[in-house]
Structure 1
């Protein structure tokens, strides 16, 4: 049994303290107000800033970067933080764009974090599709991360990354049986693309979780940007209409304050 401390800094950015390791997901530390282009005529304005400033972070052992090419997952201040981290793990295609030696992974590939006096952590890339069918050439490569280490009580820690529900994502969840999920939600959409969604909605999350019964689901990346179509209130409304394992296991991380979870 392991206690993990999660600090949700905002958006997809979470500080994870486990076994002496300090891991940071998708670093985004720019102030609010700027509009970021995402390609093919789409854009979004950042509405809220980070709850923790980069100067207030502890030393970071590894950054888990789901993709390098969208400003809501890696912004200018987040990019400036990369050289200070011991290890950066990202997509195989994105690694060359990172200064220094980033570890690039494709889905199902694994790398390991090792250090004296700490448990080894295996990091396995998991598949993502950041949009509708056939959108990968437009939206680019994205991965999630499954983290395993000795003594986990409920199964791996899974960071889904920016993805919609797909058969590959469901098959990965079924194979992993994650105990704790950092679940990217928000149902991202743009006026230019109408009803198409580029990240998971609450309805899709219910489908994902109802067959794997995770112990704890921690929503992230559902707020703070103009392009989210389903915020916390929207997720709660959707879950109120149906009994589901997701409704029973979902925990909202406080923004900026650490929360300890048994993993």
Structure 2
């Protein structure tokens, strides 16, 4: 697993290379559909060419530049499969597959067998936020001989995490989009998990390992690595937290 920066993580599972929410643009300002200005503050640690062959992209949503930027859209053209929301799939290349929550597809593995990709709910803000922030999805990756991996996408709701835990806990690795994202929307309400909720999500999922993502490289993320460390120290135990800076990697 390699952190590229923001929401972009490279996962290696069962001989497959999978990328989450590809963002490779240089720092700068981007206008969201709601009119909010999103400012990228740091470049990606890797370029698309650095990644090598990629089998699939897991795209939580396409409507915000901090989850799919201009170079990320170009990247989708060279990937054989992108999995995302039904509304996102209608706007993206023909290689995109739509999954509604709890639906799945099986991705063949090079050595035989398959990796199951299950779409799971995500709530990108307070309750009933979808009419403003749009449709968002998370993913759970499973196979009989592989660790269960959860990728949250932009989710701010612990109730959503509880629903996922009911079906999949205990989770081996949870890639949780954290950072306490806030803009002017909903009176400054959380758009992703803050650090305290990230630590609580770890308990709900009974996760062996938590890898936070999307807590850096953008100005609208209000809590970084230090806040995550403090939250896990208070919640305990801290050995489950794997805090990767852009360019850093971890093995299962």
TM-score tier (shorter): over 0.9
The aligned counterpart of 1:159 is 151
2:10 aligns with 15
Q: Residue 230 of structure 2 aligns to a residue in which SS?
A: helix
Q: Counterparts of 1:116 and 1:209 in 2: how far apart (Å)? A: 31
Q: Distance in 1 between the 2:86 and 2:122 partners?
A: 13
| Structure 2 partner of 1:38 | 32
What's 1:112 paired with?
106
* Deviation of 1:193 (Å): 4.5
Aligned mates of 2:112, 2:72 — CA distance in 1: 26
Structure 2 residue ranges without an equivalent (≥5)? none
CA displacement, residues 126-152 of structure 1 (integer Å, 9 cap, x when unaligned): 100000112111000000000001213
The CA deviation at 1:104 is: 0.2
* 1:234 matched residue in structure 2: 227
User: 5+ unaligned residues in a row in structure 1: which ranges?
Assistant: 1-5
Aligned residues: 251
Separation in structure 2 between the aligned mates of residue 243 and residue 234 of structure 1, nearest angstrom: 12
Q: Deviations over 1:154-182 (max 9, x none)?
A: x5100011001242321212321111100
Would you identify which runs of 4 or more consecutive aligned residues in structure 1 move more than 3 Å? 191-195
Q: Is the 8 A contact 1:165 1:205 kept in 2?
A: no
Secondary structure at the counterpart of residue 38 of structure 2: strand
* 8 A Cα contact 2:172 2:207, kept in partner: yes
Q: Work out whether residues 122 and 149 of structure 1, in 8 Å CA contact, stay in contact via their aligned partners in 2.
A: yes
Q: How far apart are residue 254 of structure 1 and its match?
A: 4.1
Q: 2:200 aligns with which of 196, 207, 210?
A: 207
The secondary structure found in structure 2 opposite 1:84 is coil
* TM-superposition CA deviations, 1:227-258 (whole Å, max 9, x none): 00111112223333x2334x331111242133
Distance 1:234 1:9 in 2: 20
